[in-house]
């Protein structure tokens, strides 16, 4: 069973209008809230990452969800489930990394329990004051599809780490691709410029599960067709297009916005446009109604 099928069952069972975006927008409280998890041997291996980097990445992937909503990241809680052999140095360095990544976002609590492996669950809260909050259901015909940053770098970094298959060396963190995988940067400025300057409804997601996944989610939820030109997608020349589309964990943002917004923001690349039609993604003129099996799926066998 795929992750999206689980989410569909959960949403139907709870009959909740909040489930479906990167964050739940609690309008009555003036906040958005999100939760994300990192599981040893699923999201990371101890040979490929230090405690400091693990803390850093934990915070950044959660801040990224807040950025995807357009809100201002404010608070974090972190729950750790750890083996009994975990050292005090692990805890200290994990939280040093988390603190450095958080910056002005305050870590205000959490939980610690025992377990057989390392399980991390963090919750992030964002302030909506002065911001227009996004929804992946708000892409409209005539909107432009824009992205931040390069895509495919994190997946290539993971590939390099897996080829090496031994403990991470300090100097390797400076490799462009490995750094993109281990130390992603949430797109705070890109998110803020859009949400503070836009008046219309708009769609925005992060690309944690891959650019292709985000595009299909927006197309399906908004009931539109997205026309994408691969030549316009920012990526390193050494990264193949399949990795650009399907490699996850770049934590960039993709948004469908009205063209009149573009003169008010910076740091974006236009990769396509929104059109009327059945939910689909048109890539270089070829229409795809469903993503292929290469999409990242936590439950893939």
Q: How far apart are CA 223 and CA 144, in angstroms?
A: 16
Alpha-carbon span 249 to 142, nearest angstrom: 29
Which run of H or E residues covers position 41?
none
* Residue tagged 């650009």 (tokens): 244
Fold for domain 22-127?
Answer: 60s Ribosomal Protein L30; Chain: A; (3.30.1330)
Domain assignments of the chain as residue spans, ordered by start: 22-127, 144-288
pLDDT, one tens digit per residue, over 197-211 is: 999 999 999 999 999
Q: Which of 185, 50, 171 is nearest to 118 (CA)?
A: 50
Give me 296's structure tokens. Answer: 């990242």
Contact 133, 197 (CB under 8 A): no
Q: What is the mean pLDDT of each run of 10 residues along the chain (301 residues)?
A: 75 81 93 96 90 97 97 98 96 98 97 97 98 97 98 94 78 88 96 98 96 95 97 96 93 98 98 96 90 47 41
CATH 3.90.650.10 for domain 144-288, yes or no, is: yes
Residue 297 is predicted with a pLDDT of: 43
- Two structure tokens written together for 116: 């057989």
Helix residue ranges, H only, 70-152: 88-102
3-state class (DSSP) for residue 120: strand
Q: Give residue 15's pLDDT.
A: 84
The encoded tokens of residue 121 equal 């669950």
The predicted structure's pLDDT at residue 166: 72
Nearest residue to 78 via CA among 61, 298, 69: 61
CA–CA dist 141, 122 (Å, integer): 36
SS3 116: coil
Q: What is the 3-state secondary structure (H, E, C) of 182-203?
A: HCCCCCHHHHHHHHHHCCCCCE
């Amino acid at each position: 069973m795929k992750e999206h099928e689980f989410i569909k069952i959960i949403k139907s069972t709870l009959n909740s209008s909040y489930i479906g975006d990167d964050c739940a927008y609690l309008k009555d409280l003036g906040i958005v809230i999100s939760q994300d998890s990192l599981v040893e041997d699923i999201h990371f291996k101890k040979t490929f990452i230090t405690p400091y980097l693990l803390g850093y990445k934990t915070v950044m992937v959660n801040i990224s969800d807040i950025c995807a909503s357009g809100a201002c990241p404010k608070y974090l809680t972190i729950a750790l489930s750890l083996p009994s052999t975990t050292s005090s140095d692990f805890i200290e360095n994990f939280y040093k990394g988390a603190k450095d990544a958080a910056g002005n976002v305050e870590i205000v609590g959490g939980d610690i329990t025992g377990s057989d492996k390392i399980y991390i669950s963090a919750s992030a809260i964002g302030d909506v004051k002065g911001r227009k909050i996004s929804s992946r259901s708000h892409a409209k015909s005539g909107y432009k599809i824009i992205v931040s940053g390069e895509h495919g770098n994190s997946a290539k970094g993971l590939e390099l780490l897996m080829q090496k298959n031994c403990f991470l060396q300090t100097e390797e963190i400076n490799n462009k691709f490995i750094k993109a995988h281990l130390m992603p940067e949430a797109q705070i400025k890109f998110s803020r410029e859009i949400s503070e300057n836009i008046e219309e409804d708009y769609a925005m997601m992060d690309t944690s599960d891959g650019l292709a996944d985000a595009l299909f989610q927006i197309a399906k939820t908004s009931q539109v067709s997205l026309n994408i030109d691969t030549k316009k997608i920012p990526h390193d020349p050494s990264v193949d297009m399949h990795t650009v589309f399907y490699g996850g964990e770049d934590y960039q943002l993709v948004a469908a916005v009205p063209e009149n917004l573009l003169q008010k923001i910076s740091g974006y690349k236009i990769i396509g446009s929104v059109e009327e039609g059945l939910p689909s993604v048109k890539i270089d003129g070829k229409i795809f109604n469903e993503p292929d099996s290469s999409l990242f799926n936590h439950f893939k066998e």
